[in-house]
Structure 1
Amino acid sequence: MGRLLSCLLVACLSLSAVAADAIKGERKEVFGDTTVHYSTFISTFLQPDIAKSAELVRSKNQGVINVSVIKAGKPVVTQVSGTVKDLTSASVPLKFKQITEQGAIYYIAQFPVEQQETRTFTINVGVDGKTETISFNQELFPGE
């Protein structure tokens, strides 16, 4: 599983290096001493064995969102939920699953990506007994 986290992080970094409109810099929100890191990418950036071990569908038409929550420098177990909307405002619920590895806890979910477009993500994260909401837009490019 430690390899899974490494590959997910490499995939996120690879995406920003490859795509012209990719994420510039680190994506995070800070709530007091808690930091929520998040990224999205197309699942073909994952190696087949990594996708299989995380039970993810590896496809040019499947996106992945990865969320991690750090409090006082340590990963924490929390509740993560959310939705992704397309340009027509059609909303798809995100079904996050928790991945726990040595020294890391993160939450991943998949969503369909049928064409190049900007999607609006709304992520709800439990922080210190309350729910914090993060909203962001991300242009996605299905693979070839």
Structure 2
Amino acid sequence: MHKFSYWWFGLALLAGAVFTAPAAAEQSKRLGPWEVHYNAFNSTLLRPEMARQYQLERSSTLATLNIAVLAAEKPGKPAQQVTVEGYAMNALSMQQPLDFREVVEGDAVYYLAQTSFTNLERLRFFITIQKGDEVQELRFSEEFWRN
């Protein structure tokens, strides 16, 4: 198992390791030269000590997003430092900007953001990832409910 796999396992612990098997599945997409790993979950799944460590708020109406970008052609290499921007959109096309914060822990580099939601709300995420002249778009949706 390469270093990123250990990091991703650590992230599952960060999320509280209380997901059901399908929800805990790692999500990733190949975007140009990158393999982008992403996850969005209710912030109440964070253990309080982990929320404090990463300066995240725990709330039944806040989602936490995590993005990590790897070089697709170099498995096992450290994560890429990139610029990550984006927004979340609800069913009424209301947009909430996402304020991503870069976290570097050894070879692991990931980007965290939080956004609000209402109960049983599906949010669509529009994320722009950029490094130099390379720009890629990550789009996905996730349904959230209050815990």
**Number of aligned residue pairs:** 136
* Runs of 4+ that moved beyond 2 A: 4-10, 12-17
Give unmatched runs, 5+ long, in structure 2: 1-6
Give the whole-Å Cα distance in 2 for the aligned partners of 1:140 and 1:41. 7
Q: Are the equivalent residues in 2 in contact too, given 1:12–1:41 (CA < 8 A)?
A: no
Instruction: Describe how 1:27-42 pairs up with structure 2 within 5 A.
Output: 27-42=27-42
Q: CA RMSD in A?
A: 2.2
Instruction: Describe how 1:1-144 pairs up with structure 2 within 5 A.
Output: 8-10=11-13, 11=15, 14-17=18-21, 22=23, 25-71=25-71, 72=74, 73-127=77-131, 129-143=133-147
Identity among equivalent positions (%) equals: 27
What is the one-letter code of the residue matched to 2:127? I
Change (3 A) 1:36 1:13: farther
Give the whole-Å Cα distance in 1 for the aligned partners of 2:49 and 2:8. 13
Give unmatched runs, 5+ long, in structure 1: none
* Superposition TM-score, scaled by structure 1 size: 0.83
Q: Are the equivalent residues in 2 in contact too, given 1:15–1:41 (CA < 8 A)?
A: no
How far did residue 125 of structure 1 move?
0.7
Change (3 A) 1:9 1:88: same
* Superposition TM-score, scaled by structure 2 size: 0.82
Give the whole-Å Cα distance in 2 for the aligned partners of 1:45 and 1:105. 21
1:55-92 per-position Cα deviation (integer Å, ceiling 9, x unaligned):
11011111001000011232111000111011111000
